[in-house]
Structure 1
């Protein structure tokens, strides 16, 4: 009898289609060709392609960034700006310049017809501390390039919170200027209690620039609720690369409202699970022996480094290189680097990038027909739990830190496969354009399983009469955003079956808390004096579906159980049977996945049917860990995190509702600048231009295996956007990477390789693969 491995060789080897009896030497002879030397596509450049049109979603150019900067600082602008390097909190200065998204209503006539390329606009956030009532203000500058037609206007229309692009000073981003004010106020307070800190933690704080300082101090978000006041919950740590894992049980609470530190106030101290309003109360308790350091923290942080630990032992055969994905036949995707345009196996799409939100996909088409107008992350958030000021107070919105600017260089062969196209990412920074080399990788990968497979008949010695197996693969675009302590790996994959998968993985240091024996309900002990604080990561995405055109509906197909009888089963009487019940969402709505996944949600075009009369569409398939924010009424995330509190939402598309969140919302929990809840005003969504919002995420049940860092393998969430009657049949019949085998009545095997021969090569790693290609999205 033929073995399984030999059978696979017969079906898959690169030998022309022949009639053959089982041959025990066939596999060996075929594999002998691997002695030839090739590079296996590792050094191949991706083939180039010319985008059908200029990218209307592209970033503003480096020249535009500089010109906008100069215009804003010109006396004619009347903004009275100070250069950020010289500014204080009471000056007016530019916080950042970014690309303002072009309205969909302006893009469609161009991308779908003969309309002209819509003009570009810049967005500038200016901190206006010099005003009588200091604020942060968004502006729009355009059209670009800068000319006599260019104007500077307040950017109000994209925000619905009531004050347009204006954010109160107390809610604006807490940058270095504000931190200096807060630290200037904090310093004399800490100087009064440094002896207590030394006694408890063998450390003191005299300010970040003082050589006597051997503690670090950190705050958290939010730092305001509505802009009427501002606060900080400060915590001490031991300094070092892994300071997130060495928290100290000492907190200082401050009121830091406004720009005049003479009005700042000390709200109190927290340590040993006790609250002290004044220095005098704290000192009295300390001198009475009521404050102790029961679980001393370690200053050594080598245990928390992501390096090899020989003391943990050696795994057998770990001295060998791990398996690698190789584009063995050469790259099968094409790039237009100037326009940020990609083609792959029927897929086409444009890329865009902003410093606030990062990577976006636009005009996503499969086999020439549009599926999505836009796909982009809206927010990456985390809310913590704990019985300490910092843990209880913490709600992070990572767009607050200009999410796109946190992309980091990728390690070829580890973050991405060898031979990936390693592309640059750029974004405005001050009056220049910053480049992060090799921060976006593009590669095609084997999925590890066939796209389709079936064998029929088992009477032959091969175990089948005929057998078909279709090789699967997917194109991946991958970035890693490192926001403080966490690395988020975003992986967007385009599959051969017309489906698109979005995966997000999290790694990095836990934001931990000091260990308390009484607080196990907030997380386990993960080191000598460190507790892993429970938290939930929720990442919100916008998917503006345009299935063939802008008239779409959200179809809900529910799996119900009904009692029925069937006359051909008279003996059964009434029995349970499964049925499908189909309806359409009528109005804008936030909703959750159905229990037991007994509902399918599909965006369909009622006016467009396939060959069988079925409405063409795409369904939204939950993957791993599709969660929403558990807390609904926390004061720290009340209205600022509305988009995170359900699994899914559907709204009508409007140019004045381009994003679910404002990057400054985190400090406006009670009165957000962008109130996602106001999107839901009873508008109809049936047969309209609709947008689906979905959440990925993880409830992070912390564990000792989070040390030194959380593992990508476990902290992962995903979703799939998959064809639902979009095609007339499975889109696999046009793929030639397959094997078809038949066995006739005489036991003779014939098989077809469709002229796709298995490339034979020997991998040569004589040179490191550090090729960097330029992608400016401009």
Structure 2
């Protein structure tokens, strides 16, 4: 049965409102008319109240029936998208048809993935192929037809003469006589097209199963030692005697000529990421013949042993010690209430909530995934590899951004162990979008948000995660503009103007292994937009070695060290500021020594001035120290009323960083997109992604080399793309236990109008107050512009959560 709470709400001037139960002795309901009067500051003039409408009993846990229920759960008003969503994912029917077409092609010689071994050919996954921009623009402009859809499919080919992983494009869709299966080569620049060497391909369950016998053999030989040394044994994942769990990171190759697997052991359970153990098994496992797999060595006590015999000899000599006993019970690491920490005063009260009282102020076309909000409009899309993507973003009917999308979520670790020193993650390798899952209403997103499912395909089955994306408007906690003018009267001011601040947010959370990344796209009323990313979840931790002295992170539990690492989130922003012909203007603050004849007593003095230039060619670059440069995407052919080039500036927010290591062998050439704050390139259909989903295992010979995007092309009056990085240097701490906190692990960036208009875009907003003191009495007159405070009861319902659903198609 669902739990219901009734709150008596006093809605504020906008439809979005933070609501809390009223305090004793205070009736928040007032008769608010178009001109509402209160006494001047410092004078007593109690509000008139409304005795006919008392607030609900119990301060929010019931009501007396006098109020109508606020429309907080109503659907967004419908709208009709001007065009079909040509960026949307392929349909379940298309996926099934592509699956059947691939398996019907005798030349591919495909095996059912559930029955495959290393020497088989089988489909890894099917996804939506990026639609070429040059095909889309004529359709948007009304001069061409909607471009056809294509699927992309990765096939692991262990059964060909030179085994590899090959990516294909399948289309046009729906499948028909004209549909073809072709190698997907044109979007990759590494020299092999869609092909990845077998040893550099994704290390899936088939490859893990092939290496398991060697791992079991090694661990069985030393089971008596591991029982004493790390408190557990490993006889294989399915063996009931096993008391440890194993894990392997990436990369697993340097250039695809060989494969290595570094196996780390941890205590099993829901908090396994926080219970690392001091044992690593290093395996060489190249190719498709397991008879060639061999042990590279074992590591414990920060010592390397090439053979089991040398490992045993050291143990028998008493050289290997178990300095700390790792926790096995997970309760300390779960995101649950911890009674032993005590309680906080008034924490028993229901926390303030953001509610869309009075009905939603954005419109939604569910079929086309198209949104309109206060002058903004955009389309949503989704892929299994990248997650949520936004297209054709316009403000007041004018184009701002063609595509805004996450490109990669990378992380690189540090430490003195085989796992921490060598770990680089690219989360698209794990199909980032498939980890976008259910959001908890009222906590992950406000009550009454619009929730959308996401769908992807596992083999020929459709997988649906309900409530995986939410859309909501919320009070941003500040007015977007406000001023109190000086007065020439007895009351200290002439007027106060203040404009309600709200924003629309599109949010998803992807739980990728140990981390919960929160991705927000936020649209503000005055024409700016923000991108936010936050990280919560478990640390990937290391075993604690006191001798390191905190060089790689602090001790956070009995035997656990918080591993130092970087999170780098790479995004693509394909700007089309009032058209596709844009440039990147740089305004730099410089200090100059000048003389001005009206200050003869100063002689030469220092002051600031702007040096304005236009960036000429494609390049990677960084934010200037002290924020001394402004980067602005401008349309040199479009001017505002004052003759200024219309543009959008790129404003750094919180924690705009890039990857720290520049020359690490584990991230040398497959992660260059993460190694600068910003980059600018010319838009090309064959450069849709900054990275390849299989690049992480190829740090020396990448399938996609982002550096090859920069070939000195002019970016003046061109269709340019900005690439930017958000992220955090994760200086781990005890407060990362049990999980990292969203409040601290937060990064953002803003795109704001820069002379895009003739004035600030707040004058047409009615949710505002104009306050003027009466010249004679001093009473304050409030002009509400017809936007009144609704009084109503708010009913909040605890949601019934659904889990992912698998559907045959």
The TM-score with structure 1 as length reference comes to 0.96
User: 2:179 aligns to what?
Assistant: 150
For the residues of structure 2 that align with 1:538 and 1:578, how far apart are their CA atoms?
A: 34
User: 1:477 aligns to what?
Assistant: 506
Is structure 2 residue 746 aligned with structure 1 residue 725?
no
**Structure 1 residue 21: Cα displacement:** 5.3
SS at match of 1:53: coil
Residues 1:207 and 1:554: Cα distance change in structure 2 (over 3 Å)? same
User: 1:705 aligns to what?
Assistant: 735
Is structure 2 residue 781 aligned with structure 1 residue 760?
no
For the residues of structure 2 that align with 1:651 and 1:673, how far apart are their CA atoms?
A: 19
Residue pair 1:38, 1:762 contacting (<8 A) in 2 also: yes
Residue pair 2:279, 2:299 contacting (<8 A) in 1 also: yes
For the residues of structure 2 that align with 1:21 and 1:103, how far apart are their CA atoms?
A: 62
**Structure 1 residue 188: Cα displacement:** 0.9
Deviations 1:563-591 (A, max 9, x none): 11100001100010100110011000000
Residue pair 2:230, 2:279 contacting (<8 A) in 1 also: no
Quick one: which of 515, 537, 545 aligns to 2:544? 515
For the residues of structure 1 that align with 2:28 and 2:484, how far apart are their CA atoms?
A: 15
For the residues of structure 1 that align with 2:324 and 2:37, how far apart are their CA atoms?
A: 75
Question: Is there any run of 5+ residues in structure 1 with no aligned partner, and where?
Answer: none
**Structure 1 residue 233: Cα displacement:** 1.0
Residue pair 1:632, 1:645 contacting (<8 A) in 2 also: yes
Residues 1:323 and 1:771: Cα distance change in structure 2 (over 3 Å)? farther
For the residues of structure 1 that align with 2:480 and 2:443, how far apart are their CA atoms?
A: 26
Is structure 2 residue 614 aligned with structure 1 residue 584?
yes
- The Cα RMSD (Å) is 2.0
For the residues of structure 2 that align with 1:596 and 1:713, how far apart are their CA atoms?
A: 24
Quick one: which of 729, 734, 738 aligns to 2:768? 738
For the residues of structure 1 that align with 2:587 and 2:51, how far apart are their CA atoms?
A: 50
Is structure 2 residue 237 aligned with structure 1 residue 236?
no
User: 2:35 aligns to what?
Assistant: 17
Quick one: which of 614, 623, 626 aligns to 1:596? 626
User: 1:47 aligns to what?
Assistant: 77
Residue pair 2:253, 2:697 contacting (<8 A) in 1 also: yes
Residues 1:228 and 1:580: Cα distance change in structure 2 (over 3 Å)? same
**Structure 1 residue 115: Cα displacement:** 1.0
Deviations 1:446-476 (A, max 9, x none): 0001011111124656542111110010001
SS at match of 2:224: helix
For the residues of structure 2 that align with 1:523 and 1:486, how far apart are their CA atoms?
A: 18
For the residues of structure 1 that align with 2:785 and 2:431, how far apart are their CA atoms?
A: 49
User: 1:66 aligns to what?
Assistant: 96
The TM-score with structure 2 as length reference comes to 0.92
Deviations 1:192-225 (A, max 9, x none): 1111101112210000111100011111100011
For the residues of structure 2 that align with 1:72 and 1:365, how far apart are their CA atoms?
A: 39
Residues 1:766 and 1:623: Cα distance change in structure 2 (over 3 Å)? closer
Quick one: which of 765, 768, 782 aligns to 1:751? 782
Deviations 1:214-268 (A, max 9, x none): 0111111000111000101111111010011110001111111111111112111
Deviations 1:131-170 (A, max 9, x none): 1111000100001110011000000000000000000000
**Structure 1 residue 14: Cα displacement:** 2.9
The 5 Å alignment of 1:226-625 reads 226-458=255-487, 463-519=492-548, 520-625=550-655
Question: Is there any run of 5+ residues in structure 2 with no aligned partner, and where?
Answer: 1-21, 57-65
SS at match of 2:212: helix
SS at match of 1:58: coil
User: 2:11 aligns to what?
Assistant: none
Residue pair 2:405, 2:573 contacting (<8 A) in 1 also: yes
**Structure 1 residue 765: Cα displacement:** 3.1
Is structure 2 residue 157 aligned with structure 1 residue 128?
yes
**Structure 1 residue 114: Cα displacement:** 2.9
For the residues of structure 1 that align with 2:394 and 2:495, how far apart are their CA atoms?
A: 35
What is the number of equivalent residue pairs in this alignment?
766
SS at match of 1:404: helix
For the residues of structure 1 that align with 2:743 and 2:117, how far apart are their CA atoms?
A: 44
For the residues of structure 2 that align with 1:474 and 1:16, how far apart are their CA atoms?
A: 25
Deviations 1:168-192 (A, max 9, x none): 0000000000001111221111111
Is structure 2 residue 238 aligned with structure 1 residue 217?
no
Is structure 2 residue 663 aligned with structure 1 residue 630?
no
Residues 1:646 and 1:41: Cα distance change in structure 2 (over 3 Å)? same
SS at match of 1:286: helix
SS at match of 2:795: coil
Greater mean deviation of Cα atoms: 520-529 or 429-438: 429-438
Residues 1:225 and 1:323: Cα distance change in structure 2 (over 3 Å)? same
For the residues of structure 2 that align with 1:526 and 1:134, how far apart are their CA atoms?
A: 44
Residue pair 2:441, 2:799 contacting (<8 A) in 1 also: no
Residues 1:105 and 1:281: Cα distance change in structure 2 (over 3 Å)? same
Residue pair 1:72, 1:79 contacting (<8 A) in 2 also: yes
For the residues of structure 1 that align with 2:365 and 2:456, how far apart are their CA atoms?
A: 19
Quick one: which of 29, 44, 47 aligns to 1:26? 47
Greater mean deviation of Cα atoms: 525-534 or 23-32: 23-32
